[in-house]
Structure 1
Amino acid sequence: MRKVTDDERRDRIGLRHALATAAPGVEDAVRAVTCLHATEASSIYLSAYARSRAVRASISDALFGRRTVVRQLAMRRTVFAFPVDLFAAARGSASARVARQMTARLAKDAELAGIDDGPAWVADRCSEALAAIRDESGTTAQLRARIPELSTRIAAEGRPTVLAPVGSRVLSVLAAGGSVLRGENAGRWQTSRPVWTAVEQWLGEDPGVLEERAGYRELVRRWLWSFGPGTEDDLVWWLGATKTAVRRALDDVGATPALLEDGTPAWLHPDDQEEVRLDGDWAALLPTLDPTTMGWRRRDFYLGDHGPHLFDGAGNAGPTAWWNGRIVGTWTQQADGTVEVVAIDPLPRAAVRALDQEAAKLTAWFDGERVATGYVSPLIQGRVSRGAGASGR
């Protein structure tokens, strides 16, 4: 059984995640990490840029022109940007699990609001909304205006004393099921105002649904290549699935047992037996909830004891600065759009220079635009930017 050291794991991040050497295109950048986090609209662009150096127009073209990357509600009720050829696998496994959970919760809340048959009511609302979307795509607000039932107010999920229109929850159920997709964006690239579109209209045809077992197998196969070696707990967390589903998928993939540096049992892709080594230094600036930052449950080998500086109480990470496979700080924008790197500890001169160069490149890519995030690292909460540079002087 091969032991994979922490040094090798950090080299794997640089190579497999297209951070040490840029991917040739947007689609390759997405595949490098299996899929991109898309909770914040800007993160898709920033994650793709970090791995391919693509301009915003090329990233938008992949999303809305070529439509080779699709946004889909999936693992852990999170929106991801998937390569289109992985959509059917996610739709039948992780997304289907989320759809069942959301449907059941919505039906329960409907009955608490006095509706007699919650499941039937949800099914009717979903059918009406899907028919309306197939007739004409629309934003949530536009669909509520066309379908009065979507303005029915029931208890907001998790907030029983707050009443809210049911439209967004009905559309989320449809989106998790994959019958509708987040099509064009009615907002700017930094914001998310999806125009809900039937899947067959957005992609030209319905790509189908892999059954659950096959779907999990494909997700695990790709995750192992991008993130392996990983533990069973890493996969259970990343997929938001059960241990039974993960163990079955690992068996179906033919995953190879391995050991982490501390002796913890882990798994490798069956075609990934050779040692991976990387010559040379690398630096990267990654956005909020980037897949590299959020790819494992056990993060000590790249995070160390820096978690409290970068993650909130719910386990969400803000922007991160990386040096040779370790998170060493965060980054933010000043009022004029200039990117500033904020290190946690003093860094070597080579790291300072490399991260400041990355900050200059990202500043130019922003071209004066600023991006707000809902996940501000504790390290910079309340901080007044002083133009300190990567060393935090």
Structure 2
Amino acid sequence: MTRGEMKRGRVVGPEERGARLALRHRVAGAARAGSAEEVAGALVALHATDPATVFLAAGARLADGQDPVAAVERALYEERTLTRMHGMRHTVFVVPTGLAAAVHSSTAHAAAVRERASLLKQLAAGSDLDAAWLAETERRVLAVLAERGEATGAELGTAVPRLREQYVYGVGTAQEGPQSVSTRVLRVLGMEGRIARGRPQGSWTSSRFRWALTPPHDELPTAEAQSELVRHWLAAYGPATEADLKWWTGWKVTDVRRALAALGAEPVTLEADGTGPGTVGHVLPDDLDPVRADAVGPWAALLPALDPTPMGWQSRDWYLDPAHRPALFDRSGNIGPTVWWNGRIVGGWAQRPDGGIAHRFLADVGADAVRAVEAEAERLAGWVGEVRITPRFRTPLERELAAGG
């Protein structure tokens, strides 16, 4: 028997995976974090496609007595210890600033190269604008931000009229039509890490961001950056399969395997993980010791739409009954707000127009769970206050609960 086969004899079941999740994702009461930076570091990256998710994900994991909005805004906009950037699967995330270089070099850089090439191709097909025009436009945008510190897209359009130029998008397709270059130019600069979304206009749920220059960061070799990112991810989400990691990063399977090998990741057997018994998972070489489920204690959590925990694995059957997927996901695979009890999703929640938090259980959970979830709903409503939250990607159960169903 090989060493790898011996390690695969270490079986990790759903109960242990739930205990790891509770502790490492800071959702169990005793494991809650002391800062927004701790939350982001524990999860590697916070989904930021919907701005509210960043704050709600932090609020669910911060210890009592902290203001989640103030904690996240301080880290993002004042101390800059968190960075909003394009990352895995072309998605916008908030990551610890110290991890930004690894995210960029491992993932965002290649996507940015493709995005620039796509923009130039579309400009050539639908206008007389070329690479020289684009380079000069970008130079002017960066100069304005260097002078002003930050500016909205509209303000940049006024200061740099070239951003208001139009081209024909989708020439020869059903989507053909005129489009301003502004959004695409700012997107390319953002994906390249030269500018970043700063403080939004309006409340913390707003997606109307100001733009600002980003401080320079190291350019890491791709393989080194990928190994660094996987090291953080496995510490938070392991044990997990190659398929989980490929899905989360958006990389090729060859990149995933190379990073796992570079880290010396150890194979274990995942019991009943949704892809069949005996599936191979991976953990860091120093993470083979069992985590006892009874060491965590009962816990409940209300996690937001697109929260990193339910979106962390491709195979989710170990914490989600497949029968509940239609109620909790939209048609594109985005998860809505979820109710958790002791390592499993047991329902969903939504904010009503009056600000109250409505929830519904999709399984029989018992009186202790009901009391714990009600306490979490009260805690959430307390810090959200007068702000009203509507997820960007709405799911059937969220819509029904928000409407009073």
TM-score, normalised via structure 1 length: 0.92
Residue 175 of structure 2 is matched in structure 1 by: 160
SS in structure 2 opposite 1:195?
strand
Q: Please point out which of 243, 260, 263 is paired with 2:278.
A: 263
Q: Please point out which of 208, 225, 234 is paired with 2:235.
A: 225
Asked if the contact 2:18/2:293 (under 8 Å) is kept, the reply is: no
Asked if the contact 1:107/1:121 (under 8 Å) is kept, the reply is: no
Q: Please point out which of 244, 251, 274 is paired with 1:241.
A: 251
> Alpha carbons of 1:307 and 1:121: their partners in 2 closer, same or farther (altered >3 Å)?
farther
- Give how far 1:385 is off: 5.0
Q: Distance in 2 between the 1:350 and 1:175 partners?
A: 46
Q: Please point out which of 380, 395, 398 is paired with 1:377.
A: 395
Does residue 93 of structure 1 match 2:81? no
Asked if the contact 1:89/1:218 (under 8 Å) is kept, the reply is: yes
SS in structure 2 opposite 1:160?
coil
Q: Distance in 2 between the 1:18 and 1:169 partners?
A: 37
- Give how far 1:215 is off: 1.2
Residue 138 of structure 1 is matched in structure 2 by: 151
Does residue 75 of structure 1 match 2:88? yes
- Give how far 1:207 is off: 2.6
Aligned length in residues: 381
The letter for the 2-side match of 1:30 is A
Residue 298 of structure 1 is matched in structure 2 by: 315
Residue 276 of structure 1 is matched in structure 2 by: 291
**1:101-120 maps to which residues of 2 (within 5 A)?**
101-115=114-128, 117=130, 119-120=131-132
- Give how far 1:183 is off: 2.1
**1:179-190 maps to which residues of 2 (within 5 A)?**
179-190=194-205
Q: Please point out which of 170, 194, 199 is paired with 2:214.
A: 199
Asked if the contact 1:15/1:278 (under 8 Å) is kept, the reply is: no
Q: Distance in 2 between the 1:213 and 1:125 partners?
A: 33
> Alpha carbons of 1:121 and 1:311: their partners in 2 closer, same or farther (altered >3 Å)?
farther
Q: Distance in 1 between the 2:257 and 2:362 partners?
A: 38
- Give how far 1:121 is off: 4.5
> Alpha carbons of 1:252 and 1:123: their partners in 2 closer, same or farther (altered >3 Å)?
farther
> Alpha carbons of 1:127 and 1:243: their partners in 2 closer, same or farther (altered >3 Å)?
farther
Asked if the contact 1:75/1:98 (under 8 Å) is kept, the reply is: no
Does residue 147 of structure 1 match 2:157? no
SS in structure 1 opposite 2:350?
strand
Residue 58 of structure 1 is matched in structure 2 by: 71
Q: Distance in 2 between the 1:257 and 1:156 partners?
A: 47
Q: Distance in 1 between the 2:344 and 2:287 partners?
A: 22
Asked if the contact 1:220/1:249 (under 8 Å) is kept, the reply is: yes
- Give how far 1:217 is off: 1.0
- Give how far 1:384 is off: 6.5
- Report Cα offsets for 1:297-346 as digits up to 9, x if no partner: 11111112121111111111111111111111111112221111122233
Q: Please point out which of 120, 126, 131 is paired with 2:138.
A: 126
> Alpha carbons of 1:322 and 1:78: their partners in 2 closer, same or farther (altered >3 Å)?
same
- Give how far 1:380 is off: 3.5
The letter for the 1-side match of 2:147 is D
Asked if the contact 1:103/1:122 (under 8 Å) is kept, the reply is: no
Does residue 8 of structure 1 match 2:23? no
Aligned-CA RMSD value: 1.9
Residue 3 of structure 2 is matched in structure 1 by: none
Asked if the contact 2:350/2:401 (under 8 Å) is kept, the reply is: no
Asked if the contact 1:285/1:322 (under 8 Å) is kept, the reply is: yes
> Alpha carbons of 1:57 and 1:116: their partners in 2 closer, same or farther (altered >3 Å)?
closer
Residue 262 of structure 2 is matched in structure 1 by: 252
Give me the identity figure in percent. Answer: 40
Residue 17 of structure 1 is matched in structure 2 by: 25
- Give how far 1:144 is off: 1.2
- Give how far 1:155 is off: 4.2
Q: Distance in 2 between the 1:115 and 1:3 partners?
A: 61
